[in-house]
Amino acid sequence: MTWDNSYALSILPDLFSGLWVTIQVTLAGILIALVVGLVVAVIRYSRIPLVSNIFGFYVQFIRGTPLLVQAYIAFFVLPSYGLSFSALATGIVVIGLNYSAYTAEVYRSGIADVDTGQWEAATALSLPLGRTWTRIVLPQALRSVVPLLGNYLIQMFKDSAVLFAITVYELMGHALALGSSSYRYLEPLTIAGLLFFLVSYPSSHLVRILERRLAPSR
């Protein structure tokens, strides 16, 4: 099979629209992962009896099962219990919740790194617990974990290809559909791979720059 330039050019618009879906899934998914992960981390750290244990199990369970299985269950099993959503919405929620288990662990390490003296100073000033979290602890905890979260963003961007399995029509889905209709897989899959790389490579550089910016002066 030899590379066909004109075919490659002709499928570019289609693949770009797939890339756009991938980006949308990633941005919506990371939003869920960042918010849910933070809530999970704070609740786990707060050692609320039972509640913290349940969220601890949530993290272990999600990290212990494959994303693909979670996606299948959400898309093919849950509808028979009356929970049915579009493939896109299901995919975003599944990948967002999946990553929330990982971001929760990242946040947790950031929170644990905050000096206990900071908590003690807040107590000594009678700052309420909520204020202590939002103004004292989290700003310091987040600063150190932003690069790690950035890496998860890039990883999610690539992992979202798995969602093709539940018919989310993203970059991978477009590439495979083009392949099966033209019986040419070389061009669509190569270009898809290149597009993933062209986004994730500069992004990882940005994360590294961020890392250097945030690292010193604490």
Partner 1 sequence: MPPHADSSPTQVPARDPDRPRDMISFDGVSKSWGENKVLRSLNFEVGAGEKVSIIGPSGSGKTTILRILMTLETPDQGLVTVNGGTLWDVKSGTKPKETKQTIAARRNVGMVFQQFNLFPHMTTLQNVIEAPVHVLKMDKEEATARAVDLLEMVGLSKHLSHKPPQLSGGQQQRVAIARALAMRPKVMLFDEPTSALDPELIGEVLGVIRELAHSTDMTMLMVTHEMRFAEEISDRVVMFDSGVVVEQGAPSEIFKNPTHERTRKFLRAVLER
Q: Are 142 and 109 in contact (CB under 8 A)?
A: no
* Rounded Cα distance, 84 and 80, in Å: 8
118 binds partner 1 (CB under 8 A): yes
124 binds partner 1 (CB under 8 A): yes
What is the maximum span of the chain, computed from C-alpha positions, in angstroms? 73
Which residues have a Cβ under 8 Å from the Cβ of 107 and sit 6 or more positions away? 37, 38, 41, 42, 141, 142, 145
In the bound complex, what is the minimum distance in angstroms from residue 149's beta carbon to partner 1? 18
Cα dihedral value 144, 147, 152, 156, nearest 10: 140
Reported as half-sphere exposure (CB side, CA atoms, 13 A), residue 22 has a value of 30
* Lookup result for tokens 């998860």: 152
Subset of residues 142 to 201 that bind partner 1, contact rule: CB under 8 A: 143
210 binds partner 1 (CB under 8 A): no
In the bound complex, what is the minimum distance in angstroms from residue 118's beta carbon to partner 1? 6
Q: Which of 10, 60, 65, 123 binds partner 1 (CB under 8 A)?
A: 123
Nearest-5° Cα angle at 157, 188 to 206: 110
Return the number of the residue (89 or 129) whose C-beta is nearest partner 1. 129
Q: Which of 63, 131, 205, 212 binds partner 1 (CB under 8 A)?
A: 131
217 binds partner 1 (CB under 8 A): yes
Q: Which of 17, 140, 182, 200 binds partner 1 (CB under 8 A)?
A: 140
Which residues have a Cβ under 8 Å from the Cβ of 86 and sit 6 or more positions away? none
Q: Which of 28, 39, 127, 148 binds partner 1 (CB under 8 A)?
A: 127
- Using the contact rule CB under 8 A, the part of the chain among 6-14, 39-47, 117-125, 200-208 near partner 1 is 117-125
- Using the contact rule CB under 8 A, the part of the chain among 10-18, 54-62, 129-137, 187-195 near partner 1 is 129-137
Give the interface with partner 1 as residue ranges (CB under 8 A).
Answer: 115, 117-118, 120-121, 123-128, 131, 135-136, 139-140, 143, 217-218
